[in-house]
Structure 1
Amino acid sequence: MEIKTDYQFVEGLDVTPEVRRSFDEKGYVIVRSLLGDEEIKKLHKAIEHNKGILKHRYSVGDGHGRNLGHVIWSHPGNDITGVIAKSEKVGGFMGKLLGGEVYHYHSKMIMKSARTGGRFNWHQDYGYWYNNGCLYPYMGSVFIAFDKCDKENGCLQILPGSHKMGRVDHVKIQDQTGADIERVEFAKQKLGLLHVELDVGDALFFHCNVLHCSSPNNSDRRRWSFIMCYNRKDNDPLWVHHHPSYTPMEIVPNAAILGCPDEVDLAGKDFLNPREHEAVPFQEDEDNKTDEKK
């Protein structure tokens, strides 16, 4: 029986037994139009017009001579990015997929410039987070397309079902940590590869052990994404690191997204400054400073 992994958002969409089976068997579900047109407009305005979040931007090298722009923050806060992260259809949905109360582990904007944006090497998020003292892989991410993501501009690629492999050994590749490529190639032959092509507002919910990567952006279009990462309460990290320990997160109604004030309040978000953390490599952000839509 074919397993459905692609769903259309409607108000009240829930983690039914079918959705649970999709996530458990394949390690991901796609929810189309998770953010509606007005919600996307509000998010774009807060990120691009206010510029407050983008002031915290830095670059990470991809090991192939290109860079990717990053902004990372620890706590959701009360701006629209935080309200989205705490909303029933994002944070609430992820908690149900992961089987327990979750908290906001961190959020980030990943920015691939047109023509010069770098790649992400094959990796599992838990390949990073295991080293942060998270004992169990009770973790996951929600990837929302801030721009259209397709093969041409370096969309996400995943190996469906690879979360069942458990944690794969990871090694340092310039500023990134990458999975054992021999094991990745074996998994690719067994599981197949999926290019996750998303329209603006579509979302990918995926388990922290799903192997994923993305190609460089050789197109004339940028590719930005908004990613929210979650950890289960009972997986509180064993030691203090650059992402937060368990911090209660109140789930809010979906209507709170459009009800969020236009004035951007960034208080309490705790943006990551890579200069303060030896574990976070970075480069000065030159290539990504003038990342305008083409």
Structure 2
Amino acid sequence: MASVTLSEQQMNDYNRDGYLVVKNFCNDVEIDKLYSTAVNDDAMRKNALDLNDQSGKKTRLSLWFTPGDDVFGYLTRSQRMIKPVGQLLGEGSPVCHFHSKLMQKEPKVGGAWEWHQDYGYWYKNQFMFPDQLMSVMVALTPANKANGCLQVIKGSHKLGRVNHGFSGEQVGADMVMVNNALKTMELIYCELNAGDALFFHSNLLHRSEANLSDHPRWSVISCYSLQSNIAYNETSTSWKTAVKVVPDEAILQWDAGSLSNNDFLAKENDPALKETGWETSS
């Protein structure tokens, strides 16, 4: 598969809307390898975090910082990933990998994600520049309305950071501002086929419903920053380390190590889940 280079139109769409869908970002063989690794690698299960939504349903994720020599590390560091990320964040500084997470929404039991901005979390890591932060979601299974696909408010990244408080064990956006945004801007359901990618800005408001379908919804989300973006409250080091880019064929052709070598996040160490005082001030 040829590396992804975004057109001027795609970059304009991202800057206007706060998100961009790239179809067929990974092919079927690559997705089969990624998904089977996600399901079968013990490290993913042992390091999964359960976060309760407001209704008490659980959403599961495994989060790690340094991209390694495993199949997900190869995806995260691939030329097809880093090239468009650099285009969208600005190519004046090297692209760094903040963290990646495997999102696991199982049939019937997978919980919702409340309305939030990623920078609503990452503000607590004291990143300076939200325009130099973004996420890329790659669907490992189909994502649709039935199984709780991502919903976004088109153009909401232009609001800047919205105040966030706790919703269950998650950090959720101020619903007055969310409801105002929904009156003003368009709600989009980002339905993806397995292998499609969704690039989105750190201030884009987004959420997802619980998975009440008979089918799983799994995805991997890699989050990136520029090396020029300083984080004053982040103890990991990947956020300031330039990505060592690998060729796209590494996903299928290179030997892949175990994910057990990765530096997974422990729930008690997540600054986003710690009270700072301002969550209840509004």
Q: Tell me, yes or no, whether TM beats 0.5.
A: yes
SS of the aligned residue for 2:83 comes to helix
2:117 to 124, 137, 144: 124
Match of 1:160 in 2: 154
1:149 equivalenced with 2:143 (yes/no): yes
Q: Say whether the 8 Å CA contact 2:144–2:191 is kept in structure 1.
A: yes
Aligned counterparts of 2:169 and 2:4: Cα–Cα separation in 1: 38
SS of the aligned residue for 2:37 comes to helix
Amino acid in structure 2 at the alignment position of 1:14: T
Match of 1:22 in 2: 13
Measured against aligned partners, the alpha-carbon deviations of 1:168-199 in whole angstroms (never above 9, x if no partner) come to: 11111120111111111111121110000011
1:40 to 9, 26, 31: 31
SS of the aligned residue for 1:234 comes to coil
Q: Which structure: greater helix fraction?
A: 2
TM-score (norm 2): 0.91
Q: Structure 2 unaligned segments of length 5 or more: list them.
A: 275-282
1:246 to 215, 232, 240: 240
Measured against aligned partners, the alpha-carbon deviations of 1:138-165 in whole angstroms (never above 9, x if no partner) come to: 1000111111110001000001111111
Residue 202 of structure 1, CA deviation? 0.7
Residue 278 of structure 1, CA deviation? 6.5
SS of the aligned residue for 2:212 comes to coil
Measured against aligned partners, the alpha-carbon deviations of 1:192-233 in whole angstroms (never above 9, x if no partner) come to: 100000111111000001000001111111111111001111
Aligned counterparts of 1:122 and 1:241: Cα–Cα separation in 2: 26
Q: Say whether the 8 Å CA contact 2:224–2:239 is kept in structure 1.
A: no
Alignment of 1:73-84 (within 5 A): 73-84=64-75
Q: Say whether the 8 Å CA contact 1:242–1:277 is kept in structure 2.
A: no
SS of the aligned residue for 1:126 comes to helix
1:259 equivalenced with 2:253 (yes/no): yes
Cα 1:181–1:98, aligned 2, differ >3 Å: closer, same or farther? same
RMSD: 1.7
1:213 to 207, 214, 225: 207
Q: Say whether the 8 Å CA contact 1:50–1:264 is kept in structure 2.
A: no
Aligned counterparts of 1:257 and 1:75: Cα–Cα separation in 2: 17
Count of aligned positions = 271
Aligned-residue sequence identity (percent) comes to: 36
Match of 2:167 in 1: 173
Cα 1:122–1:243, aligned 2, differ >3 Å: closer, same or farther? farther
Match of 2:221 in 1: 227
Cα 1:62–1:99, aligned 2, differ >3 Å: closer, same or farther? same
1:105 equivalenced with 2:73 (yes/no): no
Q: Say whether the 8 Å CA contact 1:60–1:67 is kept in structure 2.
A: yes
Q: Say whether the 8 Å CA contact 1:77–1:267 is kept in structure 2.
A: no
Match of 1:7 in 2: none
Cα 1:40–1:126, aligned 2, differ >3 Å: closer, same or farther? same
1:61 to 52, 57, 70: 52
Measured against aligned partners, the alpha-carbon deviations of 1:221-271 in whole angstroms (never above 9, x if no partner) come to: 11111110011110021233467440121122212221122x533365201
1:274 equivalenced with 2:267 (yes/no): yes
Q: Say whether the 8 Å CA contact 2:97–2:239 is kept in structure 1.
A: no
Aligned counterparts of 1:223 and 1:275: Cα–Cα separation in 2: 26
Aligned counterparts of 2:120 and 2:100: Cα–Cα separation in 1: 17
SS of the aligned residue for 1:239 comes to coil
Aligned counterparts of 2:272 and 2:161: Cα–Cα separation in 1: 20
